[in-house]
Amino acid sequence: MDMFAAMRVVTEVARLGSFAAASTELRLSAASVSRVVADLEADLGVRLINRTTRQMNLTDAGLEFVQRSSGLLEEVANMRNAVHERHAAPRGRLRVSCVAAFGNECLAPVLPEFMDRFPELEVSLEISNRTVDLIEEHFDVAIRVGPLQDSSLVAKKIFSQKVVFVATPEFFRQYGVPKSLEEIRSLPSVTQISGEWGRSQRFTYETSSVEFEAPQRCTVSSSVAAKNAALSGNCYTMLGDFMVASDISENRLVRLLPEYKPVEQPIYAVYPQRHYLPQKTRVFVDYLSQKFSV
């Protein structure tokens, strides 16, 4: 007996509530459906379905068989889909949400190479600091700065940032070199704040952990705006190290308080939990992990 085929027949009979409907769904004759059920009952030694000319219902044994069969059939279907997707070229539209700084500075520059690798994929990237609902808004992946709270999502670390104090050499000449968090707090600043992020930052000083409450006299929601303000020479700001790496190397910006070591902030690719990961999502997350070498 083909047990897999028998499980499909019985679960369809139970789902549709009749032998005739199951025979239509499975493209089998009604006699074939009845024979499969009868042979299965004989093989198991129990009655699975009580049927009369007017109605049918599952026995206790039939209910248990259908419940277990449904789980096994779903697992087999998932396995087939996963194997098929892994070996087929990824295609379709991939919707991505990404925090602004990482999206502008890191993700956008590597997207063209990703598109070249997977020509049958279309990518729609939303760069924003809002927290999207992946399920409700039909996003495949979101790039977020941790820590993460939503346990219904799978998270894979792809990068990390350290928030550093920066200002121009002109700022030093005008205001001097601050030696402590207390000194820098009194100097002109522009602070990037997005939701709760940016209101405070954690550092390690010598052997102690310290928290710095960011000045909020002038706040902006954009990291680009904060950097441009600092480049004016009239204020300092705090930004992710990847945002200012080239500016520091070319002496447009200089780090302040380097003895205060910033605490690393992980950056994650998050996606909904599923029985199997769609290939378009898998290749994208794998690509990000490869490019940013975590």
User: pLDDT digits over 65-80, tens only?
Assistant: 999 998 888 888 877 7
- Predicted confidence (pLDDT) at residue 17 exceeds the cutoff of 60: yes
Q: What is the pLDDT of residues 178-213, one digit of tens each?
A: 999 999 999 999 999 988 889 999 999 999 999 999
Q: What is the mean pLDDT of residues 268-283?
A: 87
Q: What is the mean pLDDT of the chain?
A: 91
What the block records as the tokens of 276 is 């199997």
- Assess whether pLDDT exceeds 70 at residue 158: yes
Q: Give the per-residue pLDDT at 166.
A: 98
Q: What is the CATH number of domain 92-152+268-292?
A: 3.40.190.10
As a whole number, mean pLDDT of residues 230-247 equals 97
- Asked whether residue 54 carries a pLDDT value surpassing 90, the answer given is no
Spatial separation of the C-alpha atoms in residues 233 and 23, rounded to whole Å:
78
- In angstroms, rounded to a whole number, what is the distance separating the alpha carbons of residues 15 and 86? 31
Tell me how far apart the alpha carbons of residues 67 and 224 are, in angstroms, rounded to a whole number. 55
User: Mean per-residue pLDDT for 49-65?
Assistant: 86
As annotated, the residues of the chain forming the CATH 3.40.190.10 domain(s) are 92-152+268-292
Contact 201, 170 (CB under 8 A): no
Q: Hey, what CATH topology would domain 3-87 get? A: Arc Repressor Mutant, subunit A (1.10.10)
Evaluate if residue 294 carries a pLDDT over 60: no
Distance (Å, whole) CA 146 – CA 195:
13
241-249 and 223-231 helices cross at what angle (nearest 10)?
A: 30
pLDDT, tens digit, for every residue of 108-155? 999 999 999 999 999 999 999 999 999 889 999 999 997 777 778 899
Smallest CA-to-CA distance from 103 within 288, 271, 290 is with: 288
Q: How confident is the model at residue 273 (pLDDT cuts 50, 70, 90)?
A: confident
At residue 275 the predicted structure's pLDDT band, cuts being 50, 70 and 90, is low
Q: What's residue 239's pLDDT?
A: 97
pLDDT tens for 79-95 read: 777 776 666 678 899 99
CATH class for domain 163-263?
A: alpha beta
Best mean pLDDT range from 20-34, 51-65, 143-157, 162-176: 162-176
Residues of the chain with CATH 1.10.10.10: 3-87
Distance CA 18, CA 177 (A): 83
What is the model's pTM?
A: 0.68
Alpha-carbon span 186 to 176, nearest angstrom:
12
The CA distances from residue 133 to 79, 112, 217, 239, 277, in Å, are: 27, 26, 32, 26, 18
H helix or E strand, kind and range, residue 16: helix 3-16
Residue (of 59, 288, 264) closest to 162 by Cα position:
264
Write down the pLDDT at residue 267: 96
Give the per-residue pLDDT at 55: 79
Q: In the chain, which residues fall in CATH 3.40.190.290?
A: 163-263
Q: What are the DSSP calls for 82-108, one per residue?
A: HHHHHHSPP-EEEEEEE-HHHIIIIIH
